[in-house]
Amino acid sequence: YQLKDAQTLNGSKKLSIAKGDAGKPVIQQARVVQSDIWASNGMVHIIDRVLIPTDLITK
């Protein structure tokens, strides 16, 4: 597979995708638990945490 940043559906900033341990993808610090699940409108990947847009996080 080819790693690249991904656009979100809400138009927020792009998600940063990198290779983690053992070459598995990591998305915004979330690890992919299960990948390549076919759905009626595309492909689903299950991650181990909820992704919250950075503009919604208060400091």
0.75 exceeded by the pTM?
no
Q: Report the share of the chain in percent with pLDDT over 70.
A: 90
Supply 15's token pair. 């998600």
Q: Are 54 and 13 in contact (CB under 8 A)?
A: yes
Low-confidence ranges of the chain (pLDDT < 50): none
